[in-house]
Amino acid sequence: MAAVIGAAFLWPKPASGFIGESSRIVFFHVPCAWTSTLAFLVAAAYSALYLWKGKPWYDDVAAAAVRIGLLFGILTLVTGSLFANVMWGSWWNWDPRESSYLLLVFLYSAYLFLRAAVEDPDRRPRIAAAYALFAVVLMPFLTFVAPRITASLHPQTVINPQGKILMDTPTRAVFFGALAGFSGLFAWLLSIDARSARLRRTRENGRPT
């Protein structure tokens, strides 16, 4: 991660068509968005595993993945807002893509509200898993379809109709390095959060589960 952060500021030249150094945000903004999406997919996968196998550990991982996904989702919004202020002169523009990401954050915040609202500890993981899986079925409409129905200011360097990544070689190298680094950071945070949830559960139940 340290190498990626250093390279992000020093190696690739700023992209043309962007004000000043603002294009460098791509090394942080897109990996945050990628990581939060990955986290929500992991949450769905572990929710499915919980419903299949019934092991509480899978629910711990799913809940931890949502919490970390939300953290990266908020970072996506913050970095996007910084870029928007430099490029378009406003912190928030109700651009379809930034609005859809805000809604994605709401969608998974609702997962945590739902968990908190179900008092029965046996039903809570089932209800949360059902919601996580239902949300992931409808998530593509929020993140990929709805933002493309109306015109967007958002740059299309990664996801675009041409299906190509529009970057030079140094930019591409740092970009993919950042994706790998953020994914690794996610895996590490997930492991800590899920293990800590398991410890809390063990303490509450008085025995390992």
Confirm or reject binding of residue 4 to other proteins (CB under 8 A).
no
Closer residue to other proteins (CB): 104 or 189: 104
Q: Are 153 and 5 in contact (CB under 8 A)?
A: no
Closer residue to other proteins (CB): 2 or 122: 122
Residue whose tokens read 């998974």: 108
Write each residue from 72 to 111 as x if it is in contact with other proteins (CB under 8 A), else as -, in one continuous string.
----------------------------x--xx-xx--x-
| Structure-block tokens of residue 19 | 């004000």
Q: Looking at 15, 51, 78, 158, which residue binds other proteins (CB under 8 A)?
A: 51
The Cα 163–Cα 172 span in angstroms is 15
19's CB contacts (< 8 A; 6+ apart) are: 86, 87
Kindly list the distances between the CA atom of residue 145 and the CA atoms of 14, 30, 109, 141, in Å, as whole numbers in the listed order.
30, 18, 21, 5
Residue whose tokens read 């509200």: 113
Name the minimum Å distance from CB 101 to other proteins. 11
Residues 149-188 close enough to bind other proteins by CB under 8 A: 149-150
Q: Which residues in this chain contact other proteins in the complex, by CB under 8 A?
A: 51, 100, 103-104, 106-107, 110, 113-114, 117-120, 123, 126-127, 129-131, 133-135, 137-138, 141-142, 145-146, 149-150
